[in-house]
Amino acid sequence: MAFPDEAFDAAVSAFAQVQQIPGVVAGVVQDGRLVHVAAAGMADREAARPVVAGTAFRIASMTKQVTALAILALRDAGRIALDAPLSEYVPQFAAVAAATRDSPPVSLRHLLTHTAGFVTDDPWGDRVLGMTPAELDSLIATGTLFARPPGLAFEYSNLGYALLGRALTNVSGEPYQSFIRRTILAPLGMTQTGFDAIAAQRGDYAFGYRLDGEQWSRERIEPDGEVGAMGGLATAAPDYARWVAFLLDAWPARDDPERGPVRRASVRELALWQSPPFPPETADGQAVVPSAYGYGLIHSADARLGTCLHHSGGLPGYGSHVLMLPHRGWGAFAFGNRTYARMSRLTWRLAELLHEAAPRAAPVPPSAVLARAIEGVVSAYAGGRIEAARVPFAVNFLLDMPAHLRDAELVSLKEQLGEGSLEKIEPLHALGGRFTLTCARGRLAGTITLSPDPEPGIQKLLLVAEPAA
């Protein structure tokens, strides 16, 4: 498709100006590559140094995707179990008093999904990235950790991801930063990405700012430490595009050889709904219903864009957001250098621009067994007898609705709608979908599900008349 580069650049510049963000960089990934980058504003206000495509920003909680995938990599290697007690991998946690006597032990899965029962801690966690190992040990031993028992509700916890970092360190035998760099970042060629923001600032780095009234000031750079697994990464657009492309490459599921540092099935697992669903919401003017947290990614169903995977990041001096449409192969991300800048407002707008510019997707063809079954239903409609379908029926089909009742239904529908022909098939998957017949006096809408037998048969068939107005 023709990329809307002028509209994209204008949206980025306008967003930076309206939201009063000193510097912004945004990128779009399509078909495995970075197809466009837009930059606006200043990386360093004092020196009037502009943001360019390669300027590094801190991406805060977008780090959680990387930490979660590192945990799944160890799980895939058989070195950890997600439902084992956390104390197996962080021994100090064995001494932590349970929230209640009947509480289950905190597990890695609880931490991944923010369901460990810890209190939400965004402002606090953002200021303790540089916590030392001894300080984290002390917090585990003496802290008031639980707001509720584990497993009952979603409550966003940076501490939970800090503990995942400690588990990575203990199980891998090396600092989690080194493990993530060696097993994920380096294989993807993400040479500008790392946890040490102090070192990053010696290069082309966007300094973080805050605005109090009309007074700008530079935020303190939080150093790397024990809590960085929750939000410590700094990266640049070309590097981060490699990460987005790697994630998107996991869709669709297929038989191709694995090419990434972690298997595709595990990448897709990041996006599975693991937490309780969020209440219906509107995200930056874009209806997002429903949504739930996976492992470091939020999965939303959007009426226009379809399946959306996204996550924001915020630190003193920074805001970030990534939005991916896995079934279209698109990803948009944006970084800004103002405290808690809501960059999701920009990425959703960029996704809308892509949607508006995209040609209609070619329809997905039905599987052979699904097409044959629907063609059989069309024949049954034409003949007024279910046996005219001449396709397999599942064992339940004529028990649930005997043949003479199916025949009566077909006759009644045809009397109402007249002769019909197949208009379209919309597969939901290989063994089910929807179909429509165009008829003389309206349409016939059908929903069909096949059985898991060696020769799949029709197990469920719903036919609904849609008379012409």
Weakly modelled stretches of the chain, pLDDT under 70:
1-3, 279-289, 361
Rounded Cα gap, residues 388 and 377, in angstroms:
8
What torsion do the CA atoms of 70, 76, 82, 88 make, to the nearest 10 degrees?
A: -90
Q: Is the dihedral of CA 356, 358, 359, 362 positive or negative?
A: negative
Same domain, 333 and 379: no
* CATH classification of the domain holding 413: 3.10.450
pLDDT of residue 276: 75
Name 157's Cβ contacts closer than 8 Å, sequence gap at least 6.
111, 114, 116, 118, 119, 120, 121
Rounded to the nearest 10 degrees, the angle between the axes of helix 63-76 and helix 158-172 is 40
Closest CA to 361 of 308, 309, 426, 302: 426
Closest CA to 103 of 92, 82, 117: 117
Q: Which domain holds residue 31?
A: 1-361
Domain-ending residue, one of 361, 381, 400:
361
Decide: 368 and 349 in contact? Cβ < 8 Å.
Answer: no
Same domain, 274 and 312: yes
Rounded Cα gap, residues 244 and 252, in angstroms:
15
Decide: 176 and 168 in contact? Cβ < 8 Å.
Answer: yes
Q: How many domains does the chain have?
A: 2
pLDDT in tens, 269-294: 999 988 777 766 554 545 456 789 99
Rounded to the nearest 10 degrees, the angle between the axes of helix 5-18 and helix 344-357 is 160
Decide: 335 and 320 in contact? Cβ < 8 Å.
Answer: yes
Same domain, 241 and 331: yes
Closest CA to 465 of 438, 433, 426, 428: 438
Same domain, 280 and 349: yes
Same domain, 407 and 277: no
Same domain, 382 and 453: yes
Q: Is the dihedral of CA 158, 162, 167, 172 positive or negative?
A: positive
Domain-ending residue, one of 339, 361, 383:
361
pLDDT of residue 348: 94
Name 240's Cβ contacts closer than 8 Å, sequence gap at least 6.
27, 59, 190, 193, 322, 333
Same domain, 325 and 282: yes
Rounded Cα gap, residues 1 and 132, in angstroms:
50
Rounded Cα gap, residues 425 and 378, in angstroms:
12
Same domain, 198 and 226: yes
pLDDT of residue 232: 97
Same domain, 356 and 372: no
Same domain, 318 and 375: no
* CATH classification of the domain holding 282: 3.40.710.10
Cis amide leading into 280 (omega within 30) = no
Same domain, 420 and 332: no
Name 400's Cβ contacts closer than 8 Å, sequence gap at least 6.
none
- Which whole-number Å values give the CA distances from 190 to 14, 167, 171, 222, in the listed order? 29, 23, 24, 22
Domain-ending residue, one of 361, 393, 418:
361
Same domain, 175 and 230: yes
Task: Assign 3-class secondary structure to the chain.
Answer: CCCCHHHHHHHHHHHHHHCCCCEEEEEEEECCEEEEEEEEEEEECCCCEECCCCCEEECHHHHHHHHHHHHHHHHHCCCCCCCCEHHHCCHHHHHCCCCCCCCCCCEHHHHHCCCCCECCCHHHHHCCCCCCHHHHHHHHHHCCCECCCCCCCCCCCHHHHHHHHHHHHHHHCCCHHHHHHHHHHCCCCCCCCECCHHHHCCCCECCCEEEECCEEEECCCCCCCCCHHHCCCEEEHHHHHHHHHHHHCCCCCCCCCCCCCCCHHHHHHCCCCCCCCCCCEEECCEEECCEEECCCCEEEEECCCEEEEEEEEEECCEEEEEEEECCCCEEEEEEECECCCCCHHHHHHHHHHHHHHCCCCCCCCCCHHHHHHHHHHHHHHHHCCHHHHCCCECCCHHHHCCHHHHHHHHHHHHHHHCCEEEEEEEEEECCEEEEEEEECCEEEEEEEEECCCCCCCEEEEEEEEEECC
Tokens of 51: 């943001």
Rounded Cα gap, residues 402 and 6, in angstroms:
61
Amino acid at site 158:
N
Amino acid at site 221:
I
pLDDT of residue 275: 77
